[in-house]
Amino acid sequence: MRTNIVILTGAGISAESGLGTFRDEGGLWAQHAIEDVATPEGFSRNPTLVHNFYNARRKQASAAQPNAAHLALAKLEQELNGDLMIVTQNVDALHEKAGSRNVLHMHGALERALCNECGHRWEAPTEMWPDDPCPRCGALATRPDVVWFGEIPYGMKAISDALASADVFAAIGTSGEVYPAANFVAEADGLGAHTVELNLAPSSGAAHFGEVVLGAASETVPAWVNHELTRNRA
């Protein structure tokens, strides 16, 4: 039976690959003020502070390896009879490192740079600094190509199109605290999809899900993928 699946992932899926989450004990937001490092205003106030924050995360993410949860989703994409789209809030490339191809980074990506002046995008060097000139217009307005608070996420049209034809919507490793991502479950549910949350602890949106699976993603996701593939083959 053909099944279309949309999967939303958050920092929790990369936690077991050694990348800190945002809101957990000792998470990124415990060490850095959101308004200083993840807003356009913070960037214009102190671009060096922001580049330091993302340079450190870029180094960490490039050294990290995908875990069993990322690998299981790559397997699901290969073996599923149906469409699979991974919409990730993560700026790391662990889904792609695991072999997933249809991945949409709605909050951007650490390995991309963006010119705040002309909008040009290019592959980010490991370390970026405020006086790095844009390779196209030469402006000294280079920023990480990530979506900060108050900015419009990427791919919203493609995401709502995929949700419109989804039979299953799954959210993995996200706290459901940040919009518009936190609203996708309500959208999918309203369109008749089966909704399932896989998380270490119930998220803020857990009540919106038809099914909640608690546990570490490296354990719960491979089991859930095998279950979905068995159902899909029936």
Catalytically annotated residues: 107
Please report, as residue ranges, which positions from 206 to 225 form the binding site for ligand BV8 (by CB under 6 A): 216-217
SS percent in the chain: helix, strand, coil, step 5: 40, 20, 40
Which neighbouring-strand residues pair with 194?
168
DSSP class of 226 = H
Closer residue to ligand BV8 in complex, CB, 88/232: 88
Which neighbouring-strand residues pair with 214?
199
Closer residue to ligand BV8 in complex, CB, 93/167: 93
Which residue among 5, 7, 12, 163 contacts ligand BV8 (CB under 6 A)?
12
Binding segment for ligand BV8 (CB under 6 A), chosen from 40-48, 116-124, 131-139, 174-182, is 174-182
Kind plus residue range of the DSSP H or E element containing 214 = strand 211-214
Tell me which amino acid residue 126 is: T
Q: Which long-range contacts (CB under 8 A, 24 or more apart) does 129-137 make?
A: 129/48, 129/51, 130/47, 130/48, 130/51
Answer yes or no whether residue 24 interacts with ligand BV8 by CB under 6 A: yes
Answer yes or no whether residue 18 interacts with ligand BV8 by CB under 6 A: no
What is each CA distance from 207 to 24, 36, 201, 212, 217, in whole angstroms?
A: 20, 32, 12, 9, 19
Binding segment for ligand BV8 (CB under 6 A), chosen from 11-19, 95-103, 111-119, 223-231, is 11-19
Which residue among 199, 205, 208, 224 contacts ligand BV8 (CB under 6 A)?
199
Answer yes or no whether residue 15 interacts with ligand BV8 by CB under 6 A: yes
Q: By CB under 6 A, name the binding residues for ligand BV8.
A: 10-12, 15-16, 21-24, 27, 38, 89, 91, 107, 146-153, 156, 173-175, 177-181, 199-201, 203, 216-217
